[in-house]
């Protein structure tokens, strides 16, 4: 496994691999989004209790999944940077952080839009909602530390340590509905008693999740390419000044 990461640490090799992946992710994401929106808005039935408000689920749930998985990816990149000083780990972490923060914010926004017609309120200090808000603050904290210095490498280690501390919040978000008596509904898919969602809603949900996941991969790789180009441009300016 470390051999794979070491081979991809070479920027030229990383560019070659990611350049082959990016077009596939972009077009596949577009196809899945179109098909997923059709399934979510037209083909899937309204919920017998929530009515058409349940359709917010097809954005809210994938956004929540990707918010959590993005932070897990951020934590892994931070670990590689702190422990092994992996050359691309810091760049990957900085690339994924704002995207993950966006998905986490989208989770909170769509959750409020979904919660008002169902709960009668936009926000409650529920364990799931509060821990998700804390996750967003960890994302913002990482971004602030990683970009708050004139030389980005100065804040990279502090930002990475903060990211590793924030990983402790991930199981709290996941299991908060099991550990505490919360207003938020329990898990419907990844639960011990089996899935509690009808297949007519499950397929649109998985389709939208696939679209979001492919989009996440594409945009992170795109940002990493841009950041590598920017680093090369800055290094070129420094060499020019030195000569």
Name the β-bridge partners of 51. Answer: 47
3-state secondary structure of 47: strand
Q: How far apart are CA 103 and CA 136, in angstroms?
A: 9
Q: How many CB atoms lie within 10 A of CB 219?
A: 19
Considering only CA atoms, give the Rg of the chain.
20
pLDDT score of 229: 86
3-state secondary structure of 187: coil
Residue 184: left if φ>0, alpha if ψ -120 to 50, beta else—which one?
Answer: beta
Per-residue model confidence as pLDDT tens digits over 41-81: 999 988 878 888 889 999 999 999 999 999 999 999 999 99
pLDDT score of 1: 46
Over residues 87-113, the mean pLDDT reads 94
Q: How far apart are CA 79 and CA 74, in angstroms?
A: 9
Task: With beta carbons less than 8 A apart as the criterion, state whether 52 and 46 touch.
Answer: yes
Per-residue model confidence as pLDDT tens digits over 175-199: 887 777 776 766 666 555 556 677 8
Report the candidate in 198, 176, 56, 189 with the shortest Cα–Cα distance to residue 117.
56
Q: How far apart are CA 176 and CA 62, in angstroms?
A: 18
Q: How far apart are CA 127 and CA 119, in angstroms?
A: 15
Task: Report the predicted TM-score, pTM, of the whole model to 2 decimal places.
Answer: 0.88
DSSP code of residue 88: T
Task: With beta carbons less than 8 A apart as the criterion, state whether 115 and 122 touch.
Answer: yes
Q: How far apart are CA 223 and CA 96, in angstroms?
A: 8
Task: With beta carbons less than 8 A apart as the criterion, state whether 190 and 202 touch.
Answer: no
Per-residue model confidence as pLDDT tens digits over 118-161: 888 888 888 889 999 999 999 999 999 998 877 767 788 999 99
pLDDT score of 120: 85
> Which sign does the torsion angle of CA 18, 20, 22, 24 carry?
negative
pLDDT score of 4: 53
């Amino acid at each position: 496994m470390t051999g794979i990461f070491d081979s991809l640490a070479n920027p030229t090799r990383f560019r070659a691999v990611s350049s082959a992946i990016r077009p596939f992710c972009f077009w596949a994401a577009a196809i899945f989004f179109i098909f997923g929106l059709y399934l979510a808005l037209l083909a899937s039935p309204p919920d017998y209790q929530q009515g058409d408000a349940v359709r917010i689920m097809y954005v809210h749930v994938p956004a929540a999944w990707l918010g959590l998985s993005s932070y897990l990816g951020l934590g892994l990149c931070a670990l590689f940077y702190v422990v092994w000083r992996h050359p691309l780990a810091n760049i990957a972490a900085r690339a994924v952080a704002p995207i993950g923060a966006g998905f986490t914010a989208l989770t909170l926004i769509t959750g409020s839009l979904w919660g008002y017609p169902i709960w009668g309120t936009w926000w409650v200090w529920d364990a799931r909602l509060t821990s998700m808000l804390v996750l967003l603050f960890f994302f913002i904290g990482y971004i602030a530390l990683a970009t708050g210095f004139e030389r980005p490498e100065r804040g990279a280690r502090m930002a990475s340590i903060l990211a590793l501390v924030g990983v402790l919040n991930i199981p709290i978000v996941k299991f908060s509905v099991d550990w505490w008596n919360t207003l938020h509904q329990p898990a419907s898919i990844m639960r011990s008693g089996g899935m509690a969602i009808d297949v007519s809603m499950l397929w649109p949900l998985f389709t939208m999740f696939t679209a979001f996941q492919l989009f996440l991969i594409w945009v992170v790789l795109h940002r990493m390419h841009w950041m590598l180009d920017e680093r090369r441009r800055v290094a070129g300016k420094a060499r020019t000044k030195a000569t």
